[in-house]
Amino acid sequence: MPDQEAKITPQTEAFDIICQLDRAIYSTTRHCREICEAPCHINIIGLITAAKVASGITEISQWDVAGDGHPSIEYLGAIRQRIYKAFGAPGSWGYGTPIGTALSKLYEIKLS
């Protein structure tokens, strides 16, 4: 029986992008920790981490690890709104950066 490709829906796409955003945030903050010793940079890392938790990105990532399938469209829409409130526009992070790219992709998906 041939392998069937998984159908990509707005729901699965949003879920995957939120997980990509989580990895981009982790990578960015890890890099900052490695090169930045100044207290102001440490505070910025803490704020980014707090925004990640407050926005629900951590919840989605834990869902992914548990392998419980994908959250509902409504839940993903609510998380996306929380992400926007916490992180704002993609350009604030730089459109060419991993965080900016993931935010841009996430905001473009139609979740209704």
Q: Max Cα separation, the chain? A: 58
DSSP, res 97: S
Does some domain include residue 3? no
Q: Which of 59-68, 69-78, 89-98, 102-111 has the lowest mean pLDDT?
A: 59-68
Q: What is the pLDDT of residue 67?
A: 59
Does some domain include residue 62? yes
**What whole-number distance in Å separates Cα of residue 19 and Cα of residue 16?**
5
**What whole-number distance in Å separates Cα of residue 45 and Cα of residue 36?**
10
* pLDDT tens digits along 34-43: 777 666 666 7
Does some domain include residue 4? no
- Average pLDDT score, the chain: 81
**What whole-number distance in Å separates Cα of residue 95 and Cα of residue 47?**
20
Does some domain include residue 67? yes
Quick check: 93 and 32 in contact, CB under 8 A?
A: no
Whole-model pTM: value is 0.75
* pLDDT tens digits along 64-93: 555 566 788 888 899 999 999 999 999 998
The total number of structural domains in the chain stands at 1
Does some domain include residue 44? yes
Q: Which domain holds residue 60?
A: 10-108
